[in-house]
Chain A
Amino acid sequence: MRYVLRRLGFFVLTMWAALTLNFLLPHLMPGNPAQTMLSKFRGELNPGELHSLEVLFGLNTNQDIFQQYISYVHQLLTGNLGISLSEYPKTVSSVIGSAIWWTLGLVGVTTVLAFLLGTFIGIVSAWRRGSWLDSIVPPVFVVTSALPYFLVGIVLLLVFGITLKWFPSEGAYYVTTDTPGFNLTFVQDVINHAILPAMALLITLIGTWILTMRNTMITTLAEDYVRMARAKGLPGWRIMLDYAARNAILPNLTGFAMSLGFVVSGAILIEDVFNYPGVGFMLLSAVDNEDYPLMQGLFLLITVAVLVAILIADVLTALLDPRTRETQ
């Protein structure tokens, strides 16, 4: 319990750090870009919108920086992320809403798949050391884990999207003919459009899982209790899964949390290559349009999502591994 509280405390601390960073960044940049943006849009915004942006970027000249920071945090806690300049007059929160589901779907499904598949292959490869599987696994996946995410995307796009035309090469669904909803055409269409980006993400993510799992598994297999299990005459697969894998998987879980940052980077680049309308793609679009409120809002959203995922992973670790509960 204390462990969970500690992790929650850490979560709040990191959230606070991200908020503060968000606030300070435009001030730290030479020529305060937020100020330039505001002067440009001053004539087009109504006083309420103008004020919310001033608070968001700490540009209120009547208050000192500390007071501005307080107003900023207060505004964020009320859920006001400001006005999107490229989708004026929509608010940032309403613009983000449309993109979240696409990224959650793509990234969520792919990460789970990568974790499951990767862990499984890692376990088997470690168990069967010296076999043909084990001799190809490390080199192949060392290479794939070092591949830049967009390269895999580009190759898949070129081969399957453009040359062979097996799958659509962009977007999430056909906007002019499909109506979003739970109808079969739409669902089929969404899956069809998601295959290439999902494959690209999967290929780049899976390498790390496999290698980490294999390494921890190998170390675990050298432990005495595994030897004991073998001596007892238990069947191979049982030792592999119940004795070794179960213990080896725990560091993987913590590794999962830490590598979420890379999952996010991969997702952003893959969404860019395939023009998949998720949160990452929207962030890049916001940068292109110099829509600073939207940029900020998306950054906070991504950070919160990553932190929540890590918190869940931590709680899971606490539940599965009694050792963590004791040492904390």
Chain B
Amino acid sequence: MRRLISLGVIIGAGLLAAGCTAGSGTSTPTGSSTGKAATTANSTLTIDNENGALWTCDFNPYNAADQFLIVGFTYEPLVYINPLQDGKATPMLATSWSWGPGNKSLTFQIRQGVTFSNGEPMTAADVAYTFNLLKGSNNPLDVPGDWSVLSSVTATGKYTVTMDFAHAAVPFFYYIADQTPILPMDIWSKMKNPATNPVTDPIGTGPYIMSKCSPENITYTANPHYWQPGLPKVHTLQYPAYTTNTTANNDLANGQAQWGSQYVPSIQSFYLDKSPDYHDWFPPTVNVSLIPNLTNSLLSNVKVREAISYAINRTNVSNIGESGYEPPSNQTDIVTPTFTSDLSKAAASAWGNGYDPAKATALLNQAGYHLSGGVMTNAAGQKLDFTVINVGGFSDWVADMQVIQQDLKAVGIVINPDNLSTNDFDTDLYTGKFQLAYYDQQIFGPSPYYELNNWLNSAYTAPVGQTAATNYERYSNPATDALLAQYAATTSAATQQSILDQLQQVMVTQVPVIPVVEEVDWFQYDTASFSGWPTPSDPYAQPAAYNYPDNEQLLLHLTPVS
């Protein structure tokens, strides 16, 4: 017994001693799980993007779960389109393109002299092969959704590809040119089942090669045969798998990672104060909206919806629920400052002041509701008392809802948040089994059209009980559909702007959804080791590591600081 105890004491002391020496050893314990690279730290960039799970080491660029890890690094698209600069186009694997008559065909000139990382040259045949691989109804590979509008894709020359459309769909240029990475035909045509075959050795035309993968970390190294000479300047990338936000944020704060794509709570004290080289930028993308179910008898009254919109203090929601990171939205559904140039002054002034509880009360009174026991009630005894479904796992949205709840209570509207699991939430949202819901559109494109289209197009809705694709509120208006179809058929900027103006009028007069705050891209960066980051004055790409193929543009612009 005594011997056991003394043994235990010795072991314990030994561990403690080892620990203390390890603490003062080469790897400085700065409270992180990544160590500073032993080489000249400048040549290795560590990416900080929390994923919630470990890596599976499957690098299929058409697998929605793994795309962000390889598109932009190894695989490239035909054209890079910058949504933050009104769709400014940068030719990548295509050098030029032109629309055919009626905008029903599109021809690309493919860049010459590009090789895949295995040395094989890239030609139009690879481009045509890639698109045709996605073909087929319900083909799981067609993540960009190209074949919902395409009718055929053919290589009409060694470096020319022509695509024919089933109907004019100009906005789909974004998905076709920017969101469809090009695959090497030689390798993929030999795969038995490209949809399920794990891709452990990705071969592409991009600036980086995936050199090592473990569940905890991925290492990329520069592609020596990349077609842009002298690029990339950063030789090695490390991409650790963070399963919690806190671990990821700690590494950012300690400088162990330099490129962050994180939600960091209280970012000023957590991160920015720690070094003058730490910066952040959160460009807004789409709106997070309160979604009314328009089939609900009480919510179908536009005045009720207008009242709700005026009653919410969006600045408060932004400051308290989102720590001020996500700017307040406006009812036109135009995200500012990203798309300020598209904002319709007429619609904005028709809407007037965003937060106006007095106006909300007046509207409710006009609709026949009066306060009774603190709740707005109409003559028939119906109370404005709703449940709102929310994703329980998104703590900031839960916090948003608490603020909204208080705001609405002040004008006599009662809402009861129901925080659900994502499975339950998705089911209820898609099938319309809700009164109010809090959600965003999972889409961002180079113009406000994409979000508006998803909300307003009746092709994307369905009756309650069936699955609606993106039009969850069950909005349907033929005049609006006509506007959206008109937009899709034109390449004229003037026509597009005029239609956008009219769509904004729809938003403020018909109030189909109520935008609350603007989603942003999360972006933190460290200028001590690298320069060339995108900034508000130079927004050359969407800056988060999970934005692809924008991540490629960022990596190509970076230079190690000597």
Contact mask for chain A residues 30-62; partner B; CB cutoff 8 A; 1 contact, 0 none = 010100110110011010000000000000000
Given that A174-B34, A176-B238 are known contacts, is A168 also in contact with B52, CB under 8 Å in the complex? Answer: no
Residue of A nearest to B426 (CB): A40
Among B22, B37, B196, residue most surrounded by chain A Cβ atoms (within 10 Å): B22
Q: Is A73 an interface residue (CB 8 A)?
A: no
Question: Which of the segments A138-146, A217-225, A285-293, A297-305 contacts the partner chain?
Answer: A285-293
The answer on a CB contact under 8 Å between B243 and A275 is yes
Given contacts A86-B53, A165-B30, A176-B37, whether A191 and B423 have CB atoms under 8 Å apart is no
Q: With A33-B423, A113-B8 in contact, do A288 and B393 touch (Cβ < 8 Å)?
A: yes
B23, A88: Cβ atoms closer than 8 Å: no
* Cα–Cα, bound, A113→B9 (Å): 9
Quick check: B34 and A175 within 8 Å, CB to CB? yes
Query: A116-B4, A166-B23, A176-B37 are contacts. A171–B247 as well, Cβ < 8 Å?
Result: yes
- The answer to whether A191 and B34 touch across the interface, beta carbons within 8 angstroms, is no
Bound Cα distance A194, B423 (Å): 36
Please tell me which one of the listed residues B33, B54, B58 contacts residue A168 in the complex, with CB atoms under 8 A apart: B33
B68 to chain A, nearest CB (A): 15
Interface contact B27-A185, CB-CB below 8 Å: yes
16 CB-based A-B contacts, threshold 8 Å: A86-B53, A98-B215, A120-B5, A161-B31, A165-B29, A166-B23, A172-B33, A174-B33, A176-B238, A176-B240, A177-B34, A188-B25, A191-B22, A193-B33, A245-B1, A285-B244
Q: Does B495 contact A (CB under 8 A)?
A: no
Query: Closest B-chain residue to A291, C-beta based?
Result: B53
Cβ of A87 < 8 Å from any Cβ of B? yes
Nearest-CB residue, chain B, relative to A170: B247
Residue of B nearest to A40 (CB): B423
B21 within 8 A of A: yes
0/1 interface trace, chain B 6-19, chain A, CB 8 Å (1 if under): 00100110011011
From B34, which residue of chain A is reached at the shortest CB distance?
A176
- Interface: B560 (CB within 8 A): no
Contact call B35/A177, Cβ cutoff below 8 A: yes
Considering only CB atoms and an 8 Å cut-off, how many residues of chain A contact the other chain? 55
Interface residues of B in 170-217 (CB under 8 A from A): 196, 198, 215-217
- Indicate if the CB atoms of A31 and B424 lie closer than 8 Å: yes
Chain A positions near chain B (C-beta within 8 angstroms): 31, 33, 36-37, 39-40, 43-44, 46, 86-90, 95, 98, 112-113, 116-117, 120, 161-162, 165-178, 185, 188-189, 191-195, 241, 245-246, 275, 277, 281, 285, 288-290
Provide the bound-state CA to CA distance between A46 and B192, in Å.
15
Q: In the assembly, what is the distance between CA of A67 and CA of B33, in Å?
A: 48
State in angstroms the CA–CA spacing of A29 and B15 once bound together. Answer: 46
Residue with the greatest number of chain A CB neighbours at <10 A, chosen from B23, B58, B426: B23
Of A31, A166, A174, most buried by chain B (CB within 10 Å of CB) is A174
| Contacting residue for B29 out of A43, A168, A288, CB 8 A | A168
Hey, which chain A residues are within 8 Å of B35, CB to CB? Answer: 174, 176-178
A290 contacts B244, C-beta separation under 8 Å: no
B145 proximal to A (CB < 8 A): no
Q: B residues touching A (Cβ–Cβ < 8 Å)?
A: 1-2, 4-5, 8, 11-12, 15-16, 18-19, 21-23, 25-27, 29-38, 46, 52-54, 56, 58, 65, 140, 196, 198, 215-217, 238, 240-241, 243-244, 246-247, 250, 256, 393, 421-424, 426-427
CB–CB A36/B423 < 8 A: yes
Nearest residue, chain A, Cβ from B32 = A168
Which one of A37, A46, A275, A289 contacts B53 once the chains associate, using CB atoms below 8 Å? A289
Greatest chain A CB density within 10 A among B12, B29, B246, B422 is at B29
CA distance A172 to B25 in the complex (A): 17
Q: Is the CB of B56 within 8 A of A89?
A: yes
- Report B-chain residues with C-beta under 8 Å of the C-beta of A113: 8, 11-12
Q: Is B31 touching A189 in the complex (CB atoms < 8 A)?
A: no
Which are the 10 A-B pairs with shortest beta-carbon distances? Answer: A171-B33, A188-B22, A177-B35, A174-B35, A169-B31, A116-B8, A192-B22, A176-B34, A175-B216, A86-B53
In the complex, how many angstroms separate the beta carbon of B160 from the nearest chain A beta carbon? 36
Closest Cβ of chain A: how far from B138's Cβ, in Å? 8
Report the separation of the CA atoms of residues A177 and B29 in the bound assembly, to the nearest whole angstrom: 13
Bound CA–CA A112/B393 (angstroms): 37
* B1 and A89 contact, CB distance less than 8 A: no
Main secondary structure of the interface of B (DSSP, over half): loop
CA–CA, A168 to B25, complex, Å? 13
Q: B19 touching A176 by the CB < 8 A rule?
A: no
- Among residues of A, the one whose C-beta sits closest to the C-beta of B54 is A87
Given the interface pairs A46-B196, A86-B53, A117-B8, the reply to whether A174 lies near B421 with Cβ below 8 Å is: no
Minimum distance in angstroms from B306 CB to a CB of chain A: 34
Q: Which A residues are in CB contact (< 8 Å) with B30?
A: 165, 168
Chain A residues whose C-beta falls within 8 Å of the C-beta of B46 in the assembled complex? 176
CA distance A166 to B27 in the complex (A): 12
Q: Choose among B18, B54, B421 the residue that contacts A98 (Cβ–Cβ < 8 A).
A: B54
- Chain A residue with minimal CB distance to B51? A86
- The residues of A that contact B16 with a CB separation of less than 8 Å are 195
Closest to A41 in B: B423
Contact partner of B23 (CB less than 8 A), chosen from A167, A194, A245, A246, is A167
Residues in A neighbouring B240, C-beta threshold 8 A? 175-176
Alpha-carbon distance between A24 and B238 when the two chains are bound, in angstroms: 43
A120 to B3, CA, bound (A): 12
Residues A37 and B423 in contact, CB atoms below 8 Å apart: yes
Chain B residues whose C-beta falls within 8 Å of the C-beta of A168 in the assembled complex: 29-33
Cβ contacts under 8 Å, A281 to chain B: 243
How many angstroms between the C-alpha atoms of A90 and B58 in the bound complex?
10
Inter-chain contacts of A90 with B (CB < 8 A): 56
* Contact of B424 with A36 in the complex, beta carbons under 8 Å: yes
Which residues on A sit within 8 Å (CB–CB) of B4? 116
On whether the beta carbons of A33 and B53 are closer than 8 Å, the reply is: no
The residues of B that contact A95 with a CB separation of less than 8 Å are 54
Q: Is the CB of A277 within 8 A of B243?
A: yes
Contacts of B27 in A (CB 8 A): 174, 177-178, 185, 189, 192
CB neighbours (8 Å) of B36 from chain A are 177
A255 to chain B, nearest CB (A): 17
Residues of A within 8 A of B52 (CB): 86, 285, 288-289
A174 and B421 CA atoms in complex are apart in Å by: 33
* Interchain CB contact under 8 A, B196 and A241: no
A111 and B238 alpha carbons, distance in the complex (Å): 36
Would you call B38 and A177 a contact (CB within 8 A)?
A: yes
Q: Of B22, B37, B427, which one neighbours A40 at CB under 8 angstroms? A: B427
Set of chain A residues within 8 Å of B256, measured between Cβ atoms = 176
Shortest C-beta distance, A16 to chain B (Å), equals 29
Given contacts A44-B140, A169-B31, A170-B247, contact A290 B422 (CB under 8 A): yes
Identify 8 new A-B residue pairs, CB closer than 8 A, beyond the known A86-B52, A169-B32: A113-B11, A165-B30, A174-B32, A195-B16, A241-B1, A275-B244, A281-B243, A285-B244
Residues from chain B with a CB closer than 8 A to the CB of A33 are 421, 423-424
**Shortest distance from the beta carbon of B164 to any chain A beta carbon, whole Å:** 28
A88-B60 Cα distance, complex, nearest whole Å: 13
A172 proximity list for chain B (CB < 8 A): 33
A192 and B54 in contact, given A116-B8, A165-B29 (Cβ under 8 angstroms):
no
How far apart sit A175 and B32, CA to CA, in the bound complex (Å)? 10
B31 touches A173 (CB 8 A): no
Question: Could you say which residues of chain A place their CB within 8 Å of the CB of B241?
Answer: 175
